[in-house]
Amino acid sequence: MNWSRFSVALIIVTLLQASFVDAISIAGIKPNLLLVVLVFFAIYANPTEAIITSFIIGFAADVALGTTIGPHIIGFGLFGTLLSNLNRVIAIRQVQYQCLAIFATGFFSGLAVWLLTAIRRQPLGHNVTAILLQMPLYSSLVGPILFIPYAWWMNVNLHRFSRQQS
């Protein structure tokens, strides 16, 4: 993995998450672009790189979403690692499976974030329905489309594991 390209992409996505998603929100529902990046690297990076990037993206999510540092690091790190390990068993290459992976990762990492902030009795800034259902659903709809520029930037062949046409 080219870590300098990853760093540049993460800074751009973090800035977009902090500022641009308000412009594309639908009825106050915003996509989580960092969740999409997390799932992309969990699927297309090797397991060690996926674990490292999951925790780094979790830190960026804590910074971009304005929460206390820690809940997204733990949630994204844990479920990004689990998704990377699951991808070693079941190849997540088709679009519908990628959508499901984004939604499930968003739901479970959102649940972890909600539980961790509830334990500390800190405000989340969003309601629980938005965190657990609406943001992951919106992110899962736009996620596979965003995989294309991520793959181009990171020099990843999206069709590397697809069936060969004869």
Give the pLDDT score at 124: 64
Helix/strand/coil for 129: helix
Is 164 a member of any domain? no
Give the pLDDT score at 69: 87
Is 120 a member of any domain? yes
- Tokens linked to 140: 């899962």
Q: What is the pLDDT along the chain (166 residues), one digit of tens a residue?
A: 899 999 999 999 999 999 998 899 898 889 999 999 999 999 999 999 999 999 999 999 999 887 778 899 999 999 999 999 999 898 888 999 999 999 999 999 999 998 988 888 776 666 888 889 999 999 999 999 999 999 999 998 877 554 444 4
Is 141 a member of any domain? yes
Q: CA 56, CA 14: separation in Å to the nearest integer?
A: 11
- Residue 110: enclosing H or E segment and its boundaries? helix 95-119
Give the pLDDT score at 164: 45
CATH number for position 37: 1.10.1760
Is 160 a member of any domain? no
**Other Cβ atoms within 10 Å of 122 Cβ, number:** 13
Containing structural domain, residue 133: 3-18+28-154
Is 23 a member of any domain? no
Is 163 a member of any domain? no
Give the pLDDT score at 166: 41
Is 88 a member of any domain? yes
Number of domains forming the structure of the chain: 1
Is 161 a member of any domain? no
Beta bridge partners of 29: 26
Q: What angle do CA 52, 106, 72 make, to 5 degrees?
A: 50
Give the pLDDT score at 128: 84
- Tokens linked to 116: 């961790």
Give the pLDDT score at 101: 96
